[in-house]
Amino acid sequence: MNIRMASRVLLVARGTDRPSSSGTEGQRPRPAGVGLGCLLTGSSGAVGSVLTRWRRGSTVPRGLEETRRARPPPPFPARAGRDRRGRSLSAPPGSAAGGGEPPAVRAMAGRNPGTELELGWISKVHVNRPAVVRHAERIKKWRTVKGNWQAAWLLKAVTCIDLTTLSGDDTPSNVQRLCFKAKHPIREDLLKALDMHDKGITVGAVCVYPARVVDAVNALKAAGCNIPVASVAAGFPSGQTPLETKLAEIKLAVEYGAREIDIVISRSLVLSGQWEGLYEEIRQCREACGEAHMKTILATGELGSLANVYKASMIAMMAGSDFIKTSTGKEVENATFPVGVVMMRAIREFYWQTGNKVGFKPAGGIRTAKEAITWLMLVKEELGVEWLTPELFRLGASTLLEDIEKQIFYHVTGSYALQHDLAMA
């Protein structure tokens, strides 16, 4: 696709409906180190060397060359006060807003301090839905990996999973089983066949209801691992509870030992345009979380439009959210790739404005290994390899791990797993 055509792919704009189509401005250089060879070099480094070992003496699988080829993402449209590359016209060249090198990746403990409410950031937002859908579909078609490369991507996906059980019939016994699976997500002999058995591969977190937090904390402590426990709160999944009740539930979950809190916003505040009220609600939830990291669930399937998704994302990050999350998993429409594109564009805009990195978590309806790889590819394309760590990217899923393990079983053995071959998740 030539530059003239690429310049017309409008995803999210502020203050303009049409980007300029002349010249070569708008091409944002691809961040350093986006080849698949550094895909698995996350903060833990647990699966960092597998691709290097597999690459030596091997040929690139068919269809992978397009994945490895440098391909600039769609350009950013011009908007008031900023040039075509998204740089502030008044900021110094060396700053993040002025187009300088982005600051180093912040550790999870660094948190997002948030900002004052800036309604000017969302006042003139327009989302070209057909362009967003085309871009998301294009990513899905570009990205096809097979063989050893696919196994490497899948192992990366495992480390980013929030292994979840949010059922009304949850008991201490099935939470304990879930925690065991969290520590041993892939069968030991399969990891040995890949020479990955000593890399400490675990899931990103275990996610449960507040009433089951103590069970999860005790089970993980007995297993001798430091996997964080995440708890949903703040009126999950509907959000239709008084703010005082939401804050009390958050504090109780933290007191029980939850290190991450997944709150849910009041969708009515978005649909009625009460952005100040939404900001204040999320800000108070952030304060109630204390040292626990806060993921804000937007329930995008109930927000009415992609423009509302973008605005709610920006408000949540201004209010101090450490992650923004697509869905509760209980809506009719959950995580979709177009919604993911819009939310990631909001994350990137917030990063350029403030220098603070915010994580992204798609959740709901992610059941297959192929979908997990597509999400990883989309994050890599939109935000860069630096976001492909458990500190900045999570996959909310309850059944995804089972399919990933089946795919790895097939890769190692050449045959499909029977029902009794894999431990229950």
Q: Give residue-wise pLDDT tens across range 165-191.
A: 999 999 999 999 999 999 999 999 999
Report the pLDDT value the prediction gives residue 425, as an integer from 0 to 100: 53
Q: Which of 160, 166, 134 is nearest to 42 (CA)?
A: 160
Report the pLDDT value the prediction gives residue 138, as an integer from 0 to 100: 87
Report the pLDDT value the prediction gives residue 65, as an integer from 0 to 100: 35
**pLDDT tier for residue 418 given thresholds of 50, 70 and 90:** confident
**pLDDT tier for residue 308 given thresholds of 50, 70 and 90:** very high
Is the pLDDT assigned to residue 108 strictly greater than 80?
no
Is the pLDDT assigned to residue 366 strictly greater than 60?
yes
Report the pLDDT value the prediction gives residue 206, as an integer from 0 to 100: 97
Q: What is the mean pLDDT of residues 128-156?
A: 88
Q: Evaluate whether 225 touches 202 at the Cβ level (below 8 Å).
A: yes
Q: What is the widest separation between alpha-carbon atoms in the chain?
A: 63
Of 32-41, 203-212, 276-285, the least confident: 32-41
Please tell me whether residue 207 adopts helix, strand or coil conformation: strand
Q: What is the C-alpha to C-alpha distance for residues 126 and 356, in angstroms, rounded to an integer?
A: 24
- If one compares 75 and 363, the residue with the highest pLDDT of the two is 363
**pLDDT tier for residue 72 given thresholds of 50, 70 and 90:** very low
Report the pLDDT value the prediction gives residue 84, as an integer from 0 to 100: 38
Is the pLDDT assigned to residue 95 strictly greater than 90?
no
**pLDDT tier for residue 69 given thresholds of 50, 70 and 90:** very low
Q: Give the phi and the psi of residue 137 in degrees, each rounded to 5.
A: -65, -35
Share of the chain above pLDDT 90, in %: 64
Is the pLDDT assigned to residue 83 strictly greater than 50?
no
Q: What is the C-alpha to C-alpha distance for residues 193 and 352, in angstroms, rounded to an integer?
A: 43
The helix (run of H) or strand (run of E) holding residue 379 is helix 369-382
Q: What is the C-alpha to C-alpha distance for residues 299 and 295, in angstroms, rounded to an integer?
A: 12
What residues contact residue 101 under an 8 Å CB cut-off, 6+ apart? none
Beta bridge partners of 297: 264, 325
Q: What is the mean pLDDT of residues 57-80?
A: 36
Q: Give the phi and the psi of residue 236 in degrees, each rounded to 5.
A: -60, 140
Is the pLDDT assigned to residue 55 strictly greater than 50?
no
Report the pLDDT value the prediction gives residue 46, as an integer from 0 to 100: 38
Is the pLDDT assigned to residue 314 strictly greater than 60?
yes
Share of the chain above pLDDT 70, in %: 73
Q: Which of 30, 104, 111 is nearest to 358 (CA)?
A: 111
Q: What is the C-alpha to C-alpha distance for residues 198 and 188, in angstroms, rounded to an integer?
A: 10
Q: Which of 340, 253, 338, 326 is nearest to 296 (CA)?
A: 326
**pLDDT tier for residue 424 given thresholds of 50, 70 and 90:** low
Q: Which of 221, 210, 223 is nearest to 166 (CA)?
A: 210
Q: Which residues are catalytic?
A: 262, 325, 361
Report the pLDDT value the prediction gives residue 417, as an integer from 0 to 100: 86
